[in-house]
């Protein structure tokens, strides 16, 4: 495995573990669609001088443009944007834990198109994941009566579906990706414009003076690291590894995010929440287990 692949693995595993925290800080004072829109549009502006310097800024053709717009709609506008909206009403730690179920959506989508097969092991994994969800809401089931909280969860589930479909779509393209930065530039620019339109359309109140420096700094961090660095690494890994291998990195994302949410935001992490985390991560691992996967994980840890 090349050093570039190993570096990308660490970027996806660690950086995306911090983005849930960054989003939560961003939406504290900035409307969610503005957080998502500024994040992606700023990411496209960061890539622009790089493309100009390398003389790679060019039209990619209608076929590739359609592909990039589809990916942008699913993974940036859909998955990333909706997750940002969801975090306005639910905690960062809960968002990251529910998001840990994304490999399940990826597996189900892969199974539908014939890339995976349903087995008894899959059933065990699904039941463990379901038990984790039960532990999450064991004491807080009454919170579902809160329409904002309930809508936040529904929006997050829709975001996970978009992410799973986008991941499988990326893997099924089987196209050469000679200029990933250029493709991401189109994706970020499109998503940023669409999300900013949504921001002006759906934000209840736009009071720029109330936007804190901390929230703005979080948006900049999300653009530089959460979008440019992490999405480049993620798309690169999808071209070099199996989707299930890439999806197991979400285990690390979840642990880092929950720890940071507790450490920095002071979010309560109960014993049931920790049990739910163990159940969901174990269930997702069982579903996505492939011969040699443990060796793969241990090798990455050793590297």
Q: How far apart are CA 42 and CA 126, in angstroms?
A: 38
Contacts of 90 (CB under 8 A, 6+ apart): 149, 152, 153, 156
- C-alpha to C-alpha distance for 7 and 26, rounded to whole angstroms: 27
Dist CA 111 CA 4 (whole Å) = 30
In the chain the first and final C-alpha atoms are separated, in Å, by 11
pLDDT digits (tens, 9 = 90+) for 278-292: 888 887 777 766 655
Which of 171, 168, 172 shows the shortest CA–CA distance to 110? 168
What's the rounded Cα separation, in Å, for the pair 81 and 77?
5
> What DSSP letter does each residue of 17-73 carry, written as one string?
HHHHHHHHHHTTTS-HHHHHHHHHHHHHHHHHHHHHHTT------HHHHHHHHHHII
User: Contact 59/50 with Cβ under 8 angstroms?
Assistant: no
Q: Which pLDDT score, from 0 to 100, does residue 1 have?
A: 60
Q: What percent of the chain has pLDDT over 70?
A: 86
DSSP state of 75: I
pLDDT score for 123: 76
Least confident of 65-69, 142-146, 263-267: 142-146
Closest to 195 in 3D by CA, of 72, 90, 86, 92: 72
Alpha-carbon gap, residue 124 to 8, rounded angstroms: 31
Q: What is the pLDDT of residue 291?
A: 58
Tell me the three state secondary structure of residue 11: helix
> What's the burial of 207, exposed, middle or buried (CB within 10 Å: 0-12/13-18/19+)?
exposed
User: Distance (Å, rounded) from C-alpha 190 to C-alpha 41?
Assistant: 8
* Contact predicate 87/23, CB 8 Å: yes
pLDDT at 259 over 80: yes
Distance of CA 107 to the CA centre of its chain: 16
pLDDT in tens, 228-243: 998 888 878 877 776 6
Task: Quote the mean pLDDT of the chain.
Answer: 83
Residue with structure tokens 């900013």? Answer: 196
pLDDT band at 210 (very low <50, low <70, confident <90, very high): very high
What are the helix (H) ranges across the chain? 3-10, 16-26, 32-53, 62-71, 81-86, 92-99, 102-112, 120-136, 147-173, 180-202, 213-221, 230-240, 243-247, 249-264, 271-288, 293-302
Any idea what the Cα angle at residue 135 is, between residues 134 and 136, rounded to 5°? 90
């Amino acid at each position: 495995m090349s050093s570039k692949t190993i570096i990308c693995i660490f970027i996806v595993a660690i950086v995306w573990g911090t983005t849930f925290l960054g989003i939560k800080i961003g939406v504290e004072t900035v409307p969610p669609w503005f957080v998502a829109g500024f994040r992606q549009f700023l990411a496209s502006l960061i890539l622009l001088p790089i493309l100009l310097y390398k003389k790679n800024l060019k039209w990619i053709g209608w076929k590739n443009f359609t592909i990039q717009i589809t990916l942008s709609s699913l993974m940036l506008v859909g998955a990333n944007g909706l997750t940002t909206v969801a975090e306005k009403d639910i905690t960062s730690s809960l968002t990251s834990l529910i998001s840990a179920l994304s490999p399940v959506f990826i597996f189900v989508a892969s199974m539908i198109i014939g890339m995976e097969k349903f087995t008894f092991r899959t059933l065990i994994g699904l039941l463990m994941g379901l038990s984790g969800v039960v532990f999450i809401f064991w004491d807080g089931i009454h919170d579902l009566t809160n329409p904002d909280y309930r809508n936040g969860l529904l929006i997050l589930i829709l975001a996970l579906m978009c992410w799973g479909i986008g991941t499988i779509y990326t893997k099924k393209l089987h196209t050469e990706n000679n200029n990933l930065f250029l493709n991401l530039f189109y994706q970020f620019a499109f998503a940023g414009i669409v999300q900013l339109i949504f921001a002006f359309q759906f934000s209840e109140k736009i009071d720029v003076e109330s936007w804190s420096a901390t929230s703005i700094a979080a948006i900049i961090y999300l653009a530089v690291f959460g979008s440019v660095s992490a999405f480049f690494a993620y798309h690169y890994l999808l071209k070099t590894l199996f989707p299930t291998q890439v999806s197991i990195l979400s285990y690390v994302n979840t642990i880092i995010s929950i720890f940071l949410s507790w450490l920095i935001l002071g979010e309560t992490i109960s014993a049931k929440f920790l049990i739910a985390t163990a159940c969901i991560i174990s269930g997702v691992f069982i579903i996505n287990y492939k011969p040699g996967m443990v060796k793969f994980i241990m090798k990455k840890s050793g590297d």
